Structure 1
Amino acid sequence: MKYLFAIFLAILTPPAHADTVLAGRTMRAHSVLTEADLKLSPGDVPGSYISVDELVGMETRVVLYAGRPIRIGDVGPPALIDRNQIVRLLYNTGGLQIAAEGRSLSRGGVGDRIRVMNLSSRSTITGTVRPDGSVTVAPPQIPGS
């Protein structure tokens, strides 16, 4: 009888309601979002943002079209590094620290992995963008260690 009552309540309980964030206007890639660029729409679209607060200050990665939901991969942190920008490369392992200059081969925000050409050796490496705009290069991983 308890189980029947629980099933009865589950049937009568209305489904949870969520909003979806839509683009208020068409925006080009690499635009920083403001509250005026966004609007809420009733309904749940899987894989889309549900809060305007999450998006304010983020940068568009792709073109956003007016009235369409903003999906998780459509935005990211604002880019600190532009393509062809000279950046500081940092390599730290154990007690060894090396700093060098490099040229960015792509755009990137905090936490993004980007390719950079070391200006001294002309070799291309991949590193992670830090909050200060420098790029950290991790030591190579040795299999089995």
Structure 2
Amino acid sequence: MIRLALILIGLASSGFADMVVPVRTLPAQTLISAGDIALRDGAMPGGVSDPSQIIGKEARIALFAGRPIRLTDVGAPAIVERNQILSLIYNRGGLVIATEGRALDRAGAGELIRVMNIASRSTVSARIGADGAAYVSQ
């Protein structure tokens, strides 16, 4: 009876939006291409409906075939790996301090991660630049 009600509700609602789904299971850290996804009828809160929003992005988690993809499931391709040594830069009001840091997370350009200052062993939050350096804002 519940199944029949759900079918009738589905028929009564006019024009479900398309949602993007993977055509095969994509492991985490896979770069998504146009051949990896397809459009399927349906709707899901937070689901992606425009393939251009995720093509060229990296899967943050495993994406299973036929299941809707959410924007939170993908991100910029990682340019910094966990435990990678990188430049840690503080730039404020003409003062520039640069040192080495160790990335405590994996991240792409523009993402905020934790970085350990190797000299002081303190941990700060820094935004990864397109050049792969970590920029401390405060």
CA distance, structure 1, for counterparts of residue 15 and residue 39 of structure 2: 16
RMSD: 1.4
Alignment of 1:1-145 (within 5 A): 15=14, 17-139=16-138
Provide TM-score, normalisation by structure 1.
Answer: 0.82
Unaligned 5+ residue runs, structure 1? 1-13, 140-145
Aligned partner of 1:122: which letter?
R
Task: Quote how far apart the aligned CAs of 1:44 are.
Answer: 2.1
Distance 2:51 2:91 in 1: 38
Q: Which residue is 1:9 aligned to?
A: none
Unmatched segments (≥5 aa) in structure 2: 1-12
How far off its partner does 1:126 sit?
1.1
Shift of 1:16: 5.0
Matching residue of 2:3: none
- State the shift of 1:43 in Å: 2.2
* Percent of aligned pairs sharing the same letter: 45
AA at the equivalent of 1:110: A
Structure-1 separation of matches of 2:131 and 2:66: 35
Instruction: Point out the more displaced range, 17-26 or 62-71.
Output: 17-26
- 2:79 partner SS: strand
Quote the Cα distance in structure 2 between the aligned partners of 1:111 and 1:53: 19
Which protein shows a greater Rg? 1
Amino acid at match of 1:32: L
Give me the whole-angstrom Cα distance separating, in 1, the residues matched to 2:67 and 2:84: 33
Instruction: Give, in whole Å, the separation in 2 of the partners of 1:16 and 1:53.
Output: 21
SS of corresponding position for 1:48: coil
Shift of 1:138: 1.4
Offset at residue 82 of structure 1 (A): 0.3
